[in-house]
Structure 1
Amino acid sequence: MPTFSYQAQSETGQTVRGTLEAETIDQAQRKLLALGYIPVSLAQGNAEMGFSGWIEEKMVDMTSITDKDLILFTKQFRTMLQAGLSILEILRILEEQTENKKLKRICSEMNAAIKQGRTLYEAFSAHPKIFSNLYRNMVRAGEESGTLPEVLHRLIYLIEHERKVKSDIKSALQYPITVVVVLALAFYVLLTFVIPKFVGIFAKVKIELPWPTVVAIGLYDFFAAYGYYLLAGVIVGLFAFSKFLKTERGRLMWDRFWLRAPIFGPLFTKAAMARFAAIFAILQASGVSVLSILDILGGTIGNSAIALEFAQIKAQLKEGRGLSPPFRQTKHFTPMVINMVSVGEESGNLEEMLQAVANHYDDEVEYAVASLSAALNPILILGLAGVVGFFALAIYMPMWDMTKMLK
């Protein structure tokens, strides 16, 4: 079916651009009128939009929607839903209020989808890159059960929880990465710009060079002769590694590595446990079945090694086993999570038990971040001091010998 690009005016007078499928241009025009849009321009294909329109569309596509934008959108949606406004009215108001151009366009497209008779879940599902699998399934659960405001309230908690966990991990990694980058820059500057200035001086003086100077000159000669080859090798290696990570096996190996890493492993494990417990508890409270919860968790947990274990747990549940025995056979779930799942399943308070686990591991992640910073700071400072100290010795030790010879 042909695709038509259009520019139209909405009911509020705003300019709307997009594409739709229709057999003829007349049918496309009727579709726009049915959506409540007044056509301004309509042509088959995207090329007819014109260069300026094409540029504007690309700029909107490149606009990112942050967690903050999504949280604000969901909060406003829930507030207006509780106030008794219709879905169409809510989406129209959100389209007018939001400052993010991409989210504004999405609200317009969702409004059009609802007018065509689609469900709210189907309207959200048309934008999977913006609304996650977890987000869409919670909307569907709320829509089907008639408890959408309550479900959106839980969804807001989950998004804010995810944002907090990501922020904690990011803050834990930010300082080590910064120091490593500074170390690399200091090494490059000293080896490339400082050492060469002294090589000529030391060559004219017949003194025995100390080992730091010999090593520094050797490193300089090596990078001068093979630096471009080394750089090309690093670029090719990084490209190959990125391609490998996009494979299922590569991603699995990488995720397992981080879970077992000596210093960072406990932090990532605790963050995954907090995410699992919070999502499981919220989804169960929203009326989602356990099998569906495991499917959703597999796509949202953020670690393929743990996601693989969800698939194994689900397979055993289909065989008629309870929830706790499959969890006991996993490798990455902590004893606390396994025991709390067992107690919650036996007592019928699984949601409460998992919420307690989520709160516990939230505190554990904060403590792990603080402990990680405290453990890495001395190591990184020693590394920086070692690099600078090594080059200082390489430069000043022969100069000291030259001074003694002159005396």
Structure 2
Amino acid sequence: MPSFTYKAITESGSRVTGTLEAESADAARLLVAEKGLIPSSVRRTRSGGGQVKAGGGWAARFTAVKPQDVILFTKQFRTMLSAGIAVVQTLEVLENQTENPRLRAALIDIAQDIRQGASLYRAFLKHSAVFTPLYCNMIRAGEISGTLIDVLGRLIYIVEHEFKVKKDIKSALTYPVIVLVALVIAFFVLVLFVFPNFISLFRNAGVSLPMPTRVMIGIHAILTHYWALVLPLVAGGFFGLAVWFRTTRGRLFRDTMLLRLPILGKVFAKAAMARFASIFAILQASGITVLESVEIISGTIGNAAIAAQFDTLREKLEQGRGLAEPLRSARYFTPMMITMIAIGEESGQLEEMLKEAAQHYDDEVEYSVSKMSELIGPVLVAGLTGVVGFFALAVFLPLVELMQKSMAGM
């Protein structure tokens, strides 16, 4: 069985080292943890006397950081801070614990910045590709209020919940996407390989062609004779949209259109309301003022169309008009959300009402996602029927006329 040397931290914060045998590095870490220690480094001992660090190399430095990695890091981060271990020392331990090379590199940089006097928020903000704006602003809220450990606990809930919601939405959309891809492929096969056989038949027979047939002939001509022009135009269009969507106006247009989608729009709107209420409640519990909370939420709501309304909202808050009254003129905030905020302000229980609203819209999102799965099926069937029906009309209408012409000539 392989031998491992380890460095660990006791509950009192002192460092200890030791050697043990285990089947793998993960098993070694588990054995160290069972001793009541926090492992900071686990290295496998080579037979020649040297040591090799358990973990990946620099080749995987730019691998994606999954939400599960961030969730696990946040839980470990909070646990060690709760044990009274200093931030820098905690980060040093966790950079040796994490399996993800990109996350490890970010933690090394964050620890270095904090040693040089940077705030935790600024250090995390430099790695926005790993830690979202919401994550960084929650760290900021914890630093400002002095309740970082509590804020991390609430942050774990938010990250886990949003990961679950996104996973449910992706799961609900998997089948429709597969069907749409198959439908597009089938359409191109019919246009490029099946329909040309009928084109020559119709032209030789001299029958008048109805509109569906002429449309299909036009599509076939474009795809066969102008594909060298169409492909660059389509690729350039997608690339241009991707670049434009990164601009302020592009994000605003995209998110506005998403909220107007027939089925998905309501899901996105309810998810935004749930996120707004949940984050606002956490910021209120952390001692952040309403004005500062609105500023933080503006950058973390996740929808540019809703975030754009916070600029006007901040101006009205500065005039001392409360929160519910300015929200009444906001386009995407539901009457229920506004009413619950108004009741919370009047009763002095804004935090509790926001938590209730967040729970309500969380349930609404879950219900809407399940309902969306039921609604998408009929929509896909209708779309498939429309495509097949259009192709059938393009083929059979001229055939019917051809048969009638043949019978009249007999």
Bin of the TM-score, shorter chain as denominator length: 0.7 to 0.9
Partner of 2:367: 367
Q: Which residue does the alignment assign to 1:227?
A: 227
| TM-superposed deviation, 1:220 | 1.9
The answer to whether residue 150 in structure 2 is matched with residue 150 in structure 1 is yes
Residue 85 of structure 1: CA displacement? Answer: 2.5
Aligned to 2:77: 77
Query: How much does 1:215 deviate?
Result: 5.0
Residue 330 of structure 1 is matched in structure 2 by 330
Change (3 A) 1:123 1:252: closer
SS for the counterpart of 1:85 is: coil
Q: Could you report, residue by residue, the CA deviation over 1:337-379 in whole angstroms, capped at 9, with x for unpaired residues?
A: 1001100011111111011111111111122222223223112
Q: Deviations over 1:165-194 (max 9, x none)?
A: 323333444443333322211111111122
Distance in 1, matches of 2:352 and 2:303, equals 24
Partners in 2 of 1:263 and 1:332 — Cα distance?
A: 16
Amino acid at match of 1:236: G
SS of aligned partner of 1:300: coil
Q: 1:288 aligned to 2:288?
A: yes
Q: Distance in 1 between matches of 2:172 and 2:103?
A: 31
Q: CA 1:57–1:200 in 2, change beyond 3 Å: closer, same or farther?
A: same
User: 1:288 deviation in Å?
Assistant: 1.7
Aligned residues of 2:294 and 2:314 also touching (Cα < 8 A): yes
Distance of aligned partners of 1:136 and 1:237 in 2 relative to their CA distance in 1, 3 Å threshold = closer
Kept in 2, the 8 Å contact 1:272–1:301? The answer is yes
1:393, distance to aligned residue in structure 2 (A): 6.4
CA distance in 2 between counterparts of 1:128 and 1:106 reads: 10
Residue-by-residue CA offset, 1:110-136 (whole Å, 9 max, x unaligned): 222333344433432332332233322
Aligned to 2:343: 343
Residue equivalent to 1:112:
112
Q: Would you tell me which structure has more helix in proportion to its own residues?
A: 1
Q: How does 1:10-21 map to 2 (within 5 A)?
A: none
SS of alignment partner, residue 262 of structure 2: coil
CA contact (8 A) 2:58 2:101 kept: no
Q: Which gives a bigger RCO, structure 1 or 2 (Cα 8 Å, sep 6+)? A: 1
Matched residue type, 2:235: I
- Size of the aligned set, in residue pairs, is 351
Q: Note the aligned Cα RMSD (angstroms).
A: 3.1
Residue 358 (structure 2) pairs with residue 358 (structure 1): yes
Q: CA deviation at 1:330?
A: 1.2
Find the counterpart in structure 2 of residue 302 from structure 1: 302
Q: 1:341·1:350 contact (CA, 8 Å) conserved in 2?
A: yes
Instruction: Give matches, 1:27-42, under 5 Å.
Output: none
Tell me the CA shift for residue 144 of structure 1: 4.6
For the residues of structure 2 that align with 1:373 and 1:242, how far apart are their CA atoms? 28
SS at match of 2:235: helix
- Paired residue for 2:314? 314
Distance 2:141 2:151 in 1: 8
Structure 1 residues 219, 327: CA separation in 2 closer, same or farther (over 3 Å shift)? Answer: closer
Distance in 2, Cα, partners of 1:340 & 1:134: 24
CA contact (8 A) 1:313 1:326 kept: yes
Describe the shift of the 1:307–1:393 C-alpha distance in structure 2 as closer, same or farther (beyond 3 A).
closer
Taking structure 2 as the reference length, the TM-score comes to 0.75
Q: Which moved more, 1:235-244 or 1:268-277?
A: 235-244
**Alignment correspondent of 1:278:** 278
Residue 100, structure 1, aligned to residue 127, structure 2: no
Partner of 2:51: none
User: Which secondary structure state, in structure 2, belongs to the residue aligned with residue 253 of structure 1?
Assistant: helix
Compare 275-284 and 242-251 and name the one that shifted more. 242-251
* Separation in 2, partners of 1:399, 1:323: 67
Tell me if the contact between 1:74 and 1:156 (Cα under 8 Å) persists in the aligned partners.
yes
In the superposition, relative to structure 1, how do residues 228 and 353 fare at CA in structure 2: closer, same or farther (>3 Å)? same
Which sections of structure 2, spanning at least 5 residues, go unmatched? Answer: 1-14, 17-56
Q: What residue number does 1:27 align with?
A: none
Q: 1:213 to 1:296 in 2, by over 3 A?
A: same
Q: How does 1:54-203 map to 2 (within 5 A)?
A: 60=61, 62-200=62-200
Greater Cα offset, 251-260 or 212-221: 212-221
Runs of 5+ unmatched residues, structure 1: 1-10, 13-55
Distance 1:335 1:360 in 2: 13
Whole-Å separation in 2 of the counterparts to 1:202 and 1:143: 76
SS of 2:85's partner is coil
User: Could you say if the C-alpha distance between residues 215 and 112 of structure 1 is closer, same or farther in structure 2, counting changes exceeding 3 Å?
Assistant: closer
Q: Which amino acid aligns with 2:223?
A: F
**2:267 — aligned with what?**
267
Distance in 1, Cα, partners of 2:91 & 2:189: 55
The equivalent of 1:7 in structure 2 is none
Q: 1:263 offset after TM fit, Å?
A: 2.9
The reply on whether 1:242 has 2:242 as its aligned counterpart is: yes
Contact 1:138 1:286 in 2 (8 A): no
- Rounded Cα–Cα distance in structure 1 between residues aligned with 2:325 and 2:198: 69
Q: CA deviation at 1:405?
A: 7.5
Distance 1:123 1:213, change over 3 A: closer
Question: CA 1:91–1:328 in 2, change beyond 3 Å: closer, same or farther?
Answer: same
Cα drift, residue 152 of structure 1? 0.9
Q: Name the CA shift for 1:196/1:135 in 2 (closer, same or farther; >3 Å).
A: same
State the 1:270 CA deviation: 0.8
